[in-house]
Structure 1
Amino acid sequence: MLNTGSLKFLTQPAVGAALLTAVHLIVPSASIAQGQPTSSTQLTVFPNLQTVPASRAQVFPNTQTVPPASQPVSPQIQQPDTNYLLGGGDLIRVNVFEVPEYTGEYQIPPGGAINLPLIGSVTVQGLTTEQAADIITERYRRFLKRPQISINLLSPRPINILVAGEVTRPGSYTLSLQGGAGNNPGVQYPTVLAALTTAQGVTLAADVTKVQLRRKTARSGEQLVTLNLKDIIQTGNTAQDITLRDGDVIVVPTATTFNVAEARNLFAANFAASPTAPRTVAVIGEVYRPGSYIVTAGGTEGGGGLPNVSRAIQLAGGITSQADIRNIKLRRPTRAGTEQTVDINLWQLLQSGDVNQDVIVQDGDTIVIPTATEISPAEATQLATTTLSPARIQVGVVGEVKRPGPVDLQPNSSLNQALLAAGGFNDARARKGVVELVRLNPNGSVTKREVKVDLSQGINEQTNPILRNNDVVLVNRSTLARTGDGLNIIAGPLGIVVNLLRLFGF
């Protein structure tokens, strides 16, 4: 209930106008982010005014809640202070009403102080145009009876910002304004997305749901706003793309977890790093040519497409027969000095078509292909026909075969297939029961072992192992062939006679 005195007080015209002015000041100004209304901007109008929590607020009877006129902004968006703060480089017009000789245009110098008639130097650095006008008004009161001062921003200075964190090129940037200002109100300030694009896009290690915008406010410190740029990708909500002010700092944090599906969506965003930019990636482990490679989108190797893990593996010569494609690791350095580890299962890609497993790579990534602890012959045969394996491998088959020399085989081919590709055993001279398998290991060592050959067996490690690129299969002479060759050497000129005796069965 309002008492009579209070009621009479409120009915006074001057008091009513003051209250209307106060209410007008409390209403937040429209957001600069595509004209959306703010949801959390607060202006303190009266000193010592406390905010009453909603749970304790007094409820008046016969009152109704009026719905907002437009769709409110997502509640997690906190709109920054949109006031323009004057600084060095701005062109302003100081209007002194009814004293035109004191009116003039001024380019604010780097120090932020302008020199005005009668009152001399006035610092306007870091002030809004309204705050600067109030200060100048107070200074002119010494010389003018009722000074009325206004300030117009004719041409704002370029926007100097800092972009840090998970972007391709962190650093300071100067962004130009589009359009005009003052008499030409069509000026357009650059936005957060424009700044990220200028910094060559966010990296794939970024957490775009917690991008921070730090902004200096007029003589009251710094305001921190958290932006969810993922909302732009999913819903097109451009309210997150806030326009910038001079001195703004944008920080893109590093993601604490990695989601393969979201990373692919981020790669396609217009504020991500260029999809065609070359990326230097190291591929180590069970590939035929471990090393560092430049991976790009498109091209001829791998049939074109995205700069992903499978493309990097193809550049490294493809996987070996010992590769474990279920437990591939991708190690990714971050701007924070840490390292992200991404688990990749390319077998899932081959079986179910989960393309998200084929992770997009970025500059500095390392792909580790581990060695399988157990190899399934059926899986090895299937992998040989995929693009993860090289098109062909080459092994050497030497000794007592019909066509000794290098043999081109499909990846993951077996020893029996190599023997048949070389024409099979030289029946009269070959030792058919056992051959020697010579292998050059990745660490530079050479191993040699005997394999008991059984042409009737399928792939198995004991009698018909899977061959690797550059393996050598040595088919030795039989005992009879070695004896005959020895007799030829011993007989010398009589070798022809010995051979004739053998021919006729003597």
Structure 2
Amino acid sequence: MRGLAKTAAICVVTGWAVCASAGGEYLLSPGDVIRITVFENPDLTTEARVSESGQVSFPLVGATQVGGMSVAAAEKRIAGGLKKGGYVLEPQVIIFPLEIRGNQVSVLGRVNRAGRFPLETSNMRVADLLALAGGVAPDGADVVVLTGMRDGQPMRQEIPLTQLFSRDPAANVELAGGDILFVDRAPIFYVYGEVQKPGAYRIEPGMTLIQALATGGGLTNRGTERGMQVHRRDASSGKVDVLSIDRNAPLRADDVIYVKQSLF
């Protein structure tokens, strides 16, 4: 009960809505800043940041692994180091988290407000995080990529927005501290020549050549579909091929469509 009560107090003081594991105690994570005190030994009071490897440096004990441990377990480990070295006979160690960084998640890429956000609820999910980031930007892709760690193993999942917003529970993944959500740029195509509105446009799923021309406003009075060219870069060689494709053929990312002028 001591650990649960202490963790609850830490959550209230630090202002974090959630800092507990499924077992009820917050697990220290890389980036967390903690204050370590030893009863009746004020000279040992230390403020330290948990390193990427999960360690903190403490006087007399040296580098000590605390990452992934509860506050109570970390206190016992440091106390054990002091006692084993004969520095303090009956050490009473107290750890107080000053900054909880392990319970943050990041959103990168084509969103309206990228950055780091705290996990505000115990079951915060991908859709909630996208809402905090202001949603996907107009030029954002239709798929978001979630990366993180689960059970000590790297995790990567591609989540289509159509599944996410259809409330598919398998797509709306529950988040964990340290997760990163990335929204890439949407694939685009370019159209120029004898079209009403030349420029770059987003490729919608399954978009064909004729649909791309319609997106560009259609042909001008001088334009013709005859001899239309699609410039397409080969992914492996990097060479740009000039193709004549069917008007109902699907486009690929970064295709460049050139519409020629009619000779008659």
Return the TM-score normalized by structure 2. 0.49
The structure number with the bigger radius of gyration is 1
Return the TM-score normalized by structure 1. 0.30
- More contact order relative to length (CA 8 Å, sep ≥ 6): 2
Query: 1 or 2, which has the higher strand percentage?
Result: 2
